Amino acid sequence: MHREMVVPTFAATRIVGLLLVSSHKYTVAFAPYNSPITSSIGKILSSSPPSTTSLSSYLNIDETAPRNFDYYDDWTINCGVQKFNGFQLASEDGLDVSVATSQNIGTGELLLGVPEGMILSASKAKDELLQMDREGVELAINQMQRIGAGLSIPEFYLILKLLVEFERGEQSPYFPWLDSLPRLYYNAVSMTDFCLECLPPLVFALSRVERLKFDNIMEVVQKVNCISPELKMEEGILKWAFNVVHTRSIGKAGENKMIVPVADMFNHGTDIQAEIQFDGNGNCLVYALQDVPAGAPLCVSYGCPTNPSRFFATYGFLDKSSPATFCKIMDIQSSPDLVKMGLNFSRMLFYKDTGDISEEVWDVVLYGKVLRYNPEMRKKFYNAFVREDLATKQAIHNEYALETAKLVQGHVNRFFISLKALNERAEGKDMREHPRLPLILSHNEFVEKTFLRVKEQLDPLVQQLTMQQGGEKEQVY
């Protein structure tokens, strides 16, 4: 059981720095401050690797340990963080902490400023780590490149940086932030093998990718000497560091990834209220994108809002605000032609509230399945698509409408059968042994409801098309 924790509300915040207003745009001028980071970092970088100490004396990252915010607010103030317009942290359960506002906010208003020196980045971590352990770090990076994990190198630098700070314990200038982070995660890397077996195909595939990333990190971290041999063998701690980086870092894959303390507390939303930006000096600034009433949550975007499966696998949450989900058709072999037509998780969509089917689903199923053995008509359809000849394209769709609709209907019906089998597998299982199962079942229910709405639209369509062609009213299973 998690102990109840009350997250402090920042009713009055000390501002370190000046707010300058020019042409209705806000600019933060960060004043000099005596930060624990700036005063300690030089000495830390020149020190030898941490000595081996009992890991029990470090930060408690057991899944049952509560998040600790006792020193967090003072730490952010001393580091020069500037909070504006009622910016505050909020939590209902002490586990999920989010950002909210205590007053009305207008579009374009500045919400938060975080100085560059406080931000953890892969590029800065790389420089620090190479100073500490050039040979070991370079061996690890070379191995990652050899095994095809090059895109994960920026995350590796951040993970290793977190492990170094973890071993410094309370001597780390980041300790108050580390102590505020979650211990319990619900993403793919945290799931039991049985949990994975209860996932639909797309989430399962994405989850396997996430677990492979972690396995790669576990392998290459053994090459480095900037953390103790004892720590390198602690899978639970390595998994915690992996989850922190993969759920809180921002930046494009393979490029410089960053974690911005305080800004990392923003939750994801489809209807986003805030945007994270960086000024010319690398300071992080967060602005309101719309008017927000007092007491409302402030959310940013973690990525494509119509791919909740990725959020589930990577971040471990179910985005019920997502307007649509991938149609789960995964048995069409990819090709450049099909990708151009929309063979993509974020384009082949079933819409949650209406049951509508995206145009890309019809195009891809027609081209990739119905016309697969009709090369002449296939080429005609593709040329019409490329040339944006809508009349010809629609005429071909009309000619093969029943075949296409039946294939989509058959997929939907088969998916219900497979989803039922997945849910039945979870029945009677001990949730204490598999604490992610309730979220998995909620995800499956979310998908099932979306597919039911699609079925409500699809079955009458197939019936109508069958009658128009003078055929029998049939269902495909």
CATH number for the domain that contains residue 263: 3.90.1410.10
Label residue 20 by pLDDT band (50, 70, 90). Answer: very low
Q: Which of 111, 440, 103, 120 is nearest to 296 (CA)?
A: 103
Cα–Cα distance, 230 to 116 (Å, whole number): 33
Query: Are 279 and 336 within one domain?
Result: no
Structure token pair of residue 291: 């008017």
Structure token pair of residue 95: 């586990």
Query: Are 295 and 379 within one domain?
Result: no
Whether residue 4 lies inside any domain: the answer is: no
3-class secondary-structure state, position 232: helix
Cα–Cα distance, 383 to 419 (Å, whole number): 37
Whether residue 476 lies inside any domain: the answer is: no
| Amino acid type, 448 | E
Domain range for residue 373? 323-468
Label residue 470 by pLDDT band (50, 70, 90). Answer: confident
Query: Are 272 and 399 within one domain?
Result: no
Whether residue 6 lies inside any domain: the answer is: no
Summarize the confidence of residues 204-225 as an average pLDDT.
Answer: 95
| Amino acid type, 146 | R
Whether residue 10 lies inside any domain: the answer is: no
Query: Are 255 and 155 within one domain?
Result: yes
What pTM does this model have? 0.83
Whether residue 317 lies inside any domain: the answer is: no
Query: Are 48 and 152 within one domain?
Result: yes
Query: Are 254 and 370 within one domain?
Result: no
Long-range contacts of 418-423 (CB under 8 A, 24+ apart): 418/200, 418/201, 419/200, 419/444, 419/447, 419/448, 419/451, 422/197, 422/198, 422/199, 422/200, 423/198
Confidence (pLDDT) at 286: 95
Query: Are 292 and 358 within one domain?
Result: no
Residue 132 has pLDDT above 70, yes or no: yes
- Dump pLDDT digits (tens) for 347-380: 999 999 999 999 999 999 999 999 999 999 999 9
Of 16-20, 130-134, 402-406, 469-473, which gets the smallest average pLDDT?
Answer: 16-20
| Amino acid type, 425 | R
Label residue 57 by pLDDT band (50, 70, 90). Answer: low
Confidence (pLDDT) at 4: 28
Summarize the confidence of residues 306-320 as an average pLDDT.
Answer: 87
- Identify the domain boundary among 268, 300, 332: 300
User: Beta strand 297-300 with 267-268: parallel, antiparallel or unpaired?
Assistant: parallel
Query: Are 353 and 254 within one domain?
Result: no
Query: Are 286 and 331 within one domain?
Result: no
Residue 51 has pLDDT above 50, yes or no: no
Structure token pair of residue 53: 């100490």
Summarize the confidence of residues 67-78 as an average pLDDT.
Answer: 93
Cα–Cα distance, 464 to 269 (Å, whole number): 38
Residue 54 has pLDDT above 70, yes or no: no
Provide the percentage of residues in the chain whose pLDDT is more than 90.
Answer: 73
Query: Are 36 and 184 within one domain?
Result: yes
Residues paired with 20 in a beta bridge? 27
Q: Where are the alpha helices (DSSP H) in 273-335?
A: 308-314
Label residue 243 by pLDDT band (50, 70, 90). Answer: very high
Query: Are 291 and 406 within one domain?
Result: no
Cα–Cα distance, 222 to 45 (Å, whole number): 21
Residue 48 has pLDDT above 60, yes or no: no
**CA distances in angstroms from 306 to 196, 323, 377, 397, listed in the order given:** 22, 6, 32, 25
Confidence (pLDDT) at 306: 83
Residue 473 has pLDDT above 70, yes or no: no
Whether residue 413 lies inside any domain: the answer is: yes
Confidence (pLDDT) at 96: 85
Q: Are 288 and 108 in contact (CB under 8 A)?
A: yes
Whether residue 56 lies inside any domain: the answer is: yes
Query: Are 291 and 426 within one domain?
Result: no
Q: Are 138 and 128 in contact (CB under 8 A)?
A: no
Summarize the confidence of residues 270-291 as an average pLDDT.
Answer: 93
Q: How many domains does the chain contain in total?
A: 2
Q: Which of 14, 47, 37, 190 is nearest to 117 (CA)?
A: 37
In angstroms and rounded to an integer, the radius of gyration of the C-alpha atoms of the chain is 26
- Dump pLDDT digits (tens) for 228-240: 999 999 999 999 9
Whether residue 456 lies inside any domain: the answer is: yes
